[in-house]
Amino acid sequence: MDGRIPPLGPGNLEDFTATSREFTWASVDREFAWSAGGSYNVAAEAIDRHAQNWRRNKIALYSVQAGGEVRKLTFGEMAELTGRFASGLERLGAVKGDRVFVYLDRKPELYIAIVGIAKMGGIAGPLFSALGPEAFKDRALDCGASIIVTSPYLYRRLEPVLDDLVNVKRFIIVGDDEGLDGRTVRFDEVLESGDPGYQAVNMAPTDPYIIHYTSGSTGKPKGVLLGHRAMIQQLMGCRYVADLREDDTYWCTADPGWVTGTSVGIFGPWYLGTSLVSYEGRFDARVWYSIIERFKVNVWFTAPTALRMLMRAGNDVVKEYDLSGLRHVCSAGEPLNPEVVRWGLDVLGRRIHDNWWQTETGAPCISNFRCMDIKPGSMGRPIPGVVAAIVDENGLEVAPGTFGFLALRPGWPSMMIGIWRNTPKFKEYFDVPGWYISGDQAYRDEDGYFWFLGRADDVIKTSGERLGPFEVESALIEHPAVAEAGVIGKPDELRGEIVKAFITLRPGVVPSERLKAEITVFVKTRLAYYAYPREIEFVETLPKTRSGKIMRRVLKAMETGQPPGDLTMLDE
């Protein structure tokens, strides 16, 4: 027995091997209204076409506010509101290609704005509402954002940098703009000035509809552009990876400031006509379980960090809620530890399906599918239509079980179309002829499953061996005292690097030297002789991005006294 978890059923993807052999991206074209002469625009496909059929009165969005109140919007209402907003933007002077930032908590207006911007041919820039003024300024100046959609409290947060935002012509305020400067206009006024019957602008497949900023280990964040053609893969990702059906209720917990929050959190499910749930508040285990129960959520897409936090809240909490409607669970954003997969099976009674992709890939590329065995800890196999491989620095594929660079064959529909005003950086991804190099190191096993080793900069070289931090972190969190762990390579004269672990403990556990020794022995018995942590440091929290990724480079910088690089995506 190798720990595999057998499939529960075929799902939307019935036969991985046969579909992968026969699938073509062109076969998806007929799913969209543009194939019959409609506008080529993500907004038209996500909202407008549903407003023209029986789905007009179907709920598109259940927006759960921080206090528990719910606002509901149908596809018909969304079509009119996004049309009004698109038209209102044009009346403010916005034109095709303008960058419009959406700096909001997860309110209905956020969804209306993002879709409305795309509808008029603009480029939406969704930003985490936790970003500070300097981080906001960096992004706004980088792409020359001309209009900002925000709320009164976030506008006031920006006051220290308002004079620096020289390209911004208007701030659209969701709420009361009384007392704010002359560049503001109320969101409701923009809607009132717009045309509810506004038709989505016809775009080219390679025209950008969104810009997502990603944090870098050095320098400023880079603005990744995704084109309207990304809709093809986003739809298939939601169908095959999330196993979504149009009669499902779907909750993606990712913030739209992160690519997951838009590609499979807004647009992908709406192409299928699926009802979405959003939640404005912060993480709380009981609130999250209550949302799944209250809305009878069928498909849930979340992050490993959130799942580990649910584990930390205790197994008894789950028993207080009826999760019987939950059919399918997905995780993305960072590798999913085997312990979390086993917890999902034992406590939630559900398989958790990890999947791999990046901001630059625009949609899921490698996944554990419902019709496949899950190998806990593996990212799965490439989605039909995507060619993935492990290659060396020359682009040659390496043998199964051999570490190398995770690479994709360029040309998948959701591949980024550029990085804003940074062509040299864009070209770096394609330096190895014939491949997109992801920057992740991994290996592929004999069955074609891919296994994450670490970001190229994270891989630890100790005693002549290469070691991925994820493998050690996964072993650490299997210890009953450990809640989370971040692992780095610490410079060492004898071994090149040693493994150092930063550990947060479960509630009630007291840190001690004895516990360090116990954890060390625990990992030694599970991993290779060189893979255990020679140093352990107990910490209260680990540095993470808002999307839940542990920022190992920050840990390493703290340890070595080096600059930590861009910290604008650090969760506060």
Per-residue pLDDT at 217: 47
Residue 134 binned pLDDT confidence (cut-offs 50, 70, 90): confident
Contact 122, 169 (CB under 8 A): no
Q: Is residue 227 within 8 Å of 209, Cβ to Cβ?
A: yes
Task: Give the pLDDT score at 224.
Answer: 97
Q: What is the mean pLDDT of the chain?
A: 92
Q: Give me the pLDDT at residue 152, please.
A: 96
Q: Is residue 181 over pLDDT 80? A: no
Q: DSSP E strands: which ranges in 335-435?
A: 352-356, 366-367, 381-382, 388-391, 404-408, 418-419
Q: Please check whether residue 535 is in contact with residue 501, taking contact to mean a CB–CB distance below 8 angstroms.
A: yes
- Three-state DSSP at 513 gives helix
| 241 DSSP 8-state letter | I
pLDDT score of 569: 55
48 contacts 116 by C-beta, under 8 angstroms: no
Residue 155's alpha-carbon distances to 102, 133, 432, in angstroms, are 12, 9, 44
Between CA 28 and CA 311 the distance in angstroms is: 39
User: Quick one: pLDDT at residue 256?
Assistant: 95
Distance, in Å, from the CA atom of 519 to the CA atom of 538, rounded to the nearest integer, reads 12
d(CA 562, CA 218): 11
Give the mean model confidence (pLDDT) for residues 502-530: 89
| pLDDT at residue 562, as a whole number | 74
pLDDT at 460: 80
Higher pLDDT, 9 or 253: 253
CA distance 466 to 468: 7
Percent of the chain with pLDDT over 70: 95
1 pLDDT tier (thresholds 50, 70, 90)? very low
DSSP category for residue 190:
H
pLDDT in tens, 335-389: 888 999 999 999 999 999 999 999 999 999 999 999 999 999 999 999 999 999 9
**What is the C-alpha separation between 264 and 50, in angstroms, rounded?**
18
Q: Which of 333-337, 355-359, 408-412, 499-503 has the lowest mean pLDDT?
A: 333-337
**Reported pTM:** 0.87
Q: Where are the alpha helices (DSSP H) in 30-74?
A: 42-43
State pLDDT tens for residues 411-448. Answer: 999 999 999 999 999 999 999 999 999 989 899 999 99
Say whether pLDDT at 214 is over 60: yes
Which of 426, 430, 428 is closest to 408 using CA atoms? 430
With cut-offs at 50, 70 and 90, classify the pLDDT of residue 493: confident
CA 457, CA 380: separation in Å to the nearest integer? 23
Kindly report the CA angle at 424 between 419 and 426, in degrees rounded to 5?
Answer: 40
Residues 278-323: tens digit of each pLDDT? 999 989 999 999 999 999 999 999 988 899 889 989 999 999 999 9
Closest by CA position to 261, among listed 433, 492, 105, 472: 105
Domains annotated for the chain, with CATH where assigned, are: 457-560 (3.30.300.30)
**Helix, strand, coil percentages for the chain (3-state, nearest 5):** 35, 25, 45
